[in-house]
């Protein structure tokens, strides 16, 4: 019964880059028999280019416009799990749209975890490798209040086990 109620609503995953939104989102969607989407992957497929290239050519403003278009389009769907880009909360219209169209889950992790994961990820777009920790701290300080403001559920994503994070999300969804 609860899974049917959950499946009739959208689930939107927000949080810093590298926190595991895509990995966790795929597993969560599989558990709930929902369709999974990743907004960054959709943008890359439609543009035929990586986000780093889009940012170089169009700038952050151009990228954010594309991101907002995807958010608007995919929040019209029903019964999906959507992993959003980390900067989705920078536009108030995105925040309003996500809040109105589904359950927003903030995957929160420590700065240390973000630094470790972003050092391994060759596709990080807006961060200079030399000053990574400083840059990530600035980004986290700016975005954390925005993530908190729109989230219906906050999940500690510091666990090394994807299974335990997904189970925690399922428990929280069942409480709602």
Q: Which structure tokens are listed for 124?
A: 């990080």
C-alpha 88/C-alpha 71 separation (Å) is 8
Judge whether 60 lies within some domain. yes
Judge whether 31 lies within some domain. yes
Number of domain units in the chain: 1
CATH number at 98 reads 3.40.50.300
pLDDT at 122: 53
Higher pLDDT, 25 or 118: 25
Helix (H, G, I), strand (E, B) or coil at 59: helix
Mean pLDDT, the chain, whole residue set: 88
Judge whether 145 lies within some domain. yes
Judge whether 171 lies within some domain. no
User: Over the stretch 99-142, which tens digit does the pLDDT of each residue have?
Assistant: 999 999 999 988 777 677 666 555 554 455 557 778 888 988 99
**What's the full length of the chain, in residues?**
176
Spell out the residues 6+ positions from residue 158 whose beta carbon is closer than 8 angstroms to its own: 109, 110, 113
* CA atoms 21, 70, 148, 102: torsion sign: negative
Spell out the residues 6+ positions from residue 79 whose beta carbon is closer than 8 angstroms to its own: 7, 8, 9, 10, 34, 35
Range of the domain at 79: 10-161
Q: Which structure tokens are listed for 86?
A: 């980390």
pLDDT at 119: 62
Tell me the range of 2-16, 47-61, 109-123 where mean pLDDT is highest: 47-61
Judge whether 74 lies within some domain. yes
Kindly state the average pLDDT of the residues 20-28: 96
Kindly state the average pLDDT of the residues 84-95: 96
Judge whether 173 lies within some domain. no
* φ, ψ at 76 (rounded to 5°): -75, -20
Higher pLDDT, 2 or 49: 49
pLDDT at 21: 96
The model's pTM: 0.90
C-alpha 81/C-alpha 74 separation (Å) is 10
pLDDT at 27: 97
C-alpha 44/C-alpha 20 separation (Å) is 18
Confidence check: pLDDT of 91 > 90: yes
Task: Specify the range with the lowest mean pLDDT, choosing from 73-82, 83-92, 112-121, 146-155.
Answer: 112-121
Element (H, E) at 5: helix 2-7
Judge whether 4 lies within some domain. no
Judge whether 168 lies within some domain. no
Confidence check: pLDDT of 2 > 50: no
pLDDT at 1: 40
């Amino acid at each position: 019964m609860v899974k049917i109620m959950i499946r009739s609503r959208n689930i939107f995953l927000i949080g810093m880059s590298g926190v595991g939104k895509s990995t966790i989102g795929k597993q969560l969607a599989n558990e709930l028999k929902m369709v999974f989407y990743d907004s960054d992957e959709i943008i890359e497929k439609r543009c035929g280019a990586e986000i780093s290239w889009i940012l170089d050519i169009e700038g952050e403003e151009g990228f954010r416009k594309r991101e907002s278009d995807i958010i608007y389009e995919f929040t019209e769907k029903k019964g999906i799990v959507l992993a959003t880009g980390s900067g989705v909360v920078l536009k108030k219209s995105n925040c309003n749209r996500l809040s109105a169209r589904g359950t927003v889950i903030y995957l929160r992790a420590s700065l240390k975890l973000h630094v470790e994961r972003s050092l391994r990820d060759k596709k990080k777009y807006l961060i200079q490798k030399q000053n990574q920790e400083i840059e990530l701290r600035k980004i986290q300080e700016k975005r954390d209040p925005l993530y908190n403001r729109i989230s219906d559920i906050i999940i500690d994503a510091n666990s090394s086990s994807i299974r335990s994070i997904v189970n925690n999300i399922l428990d929280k969804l069942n409480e709602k």
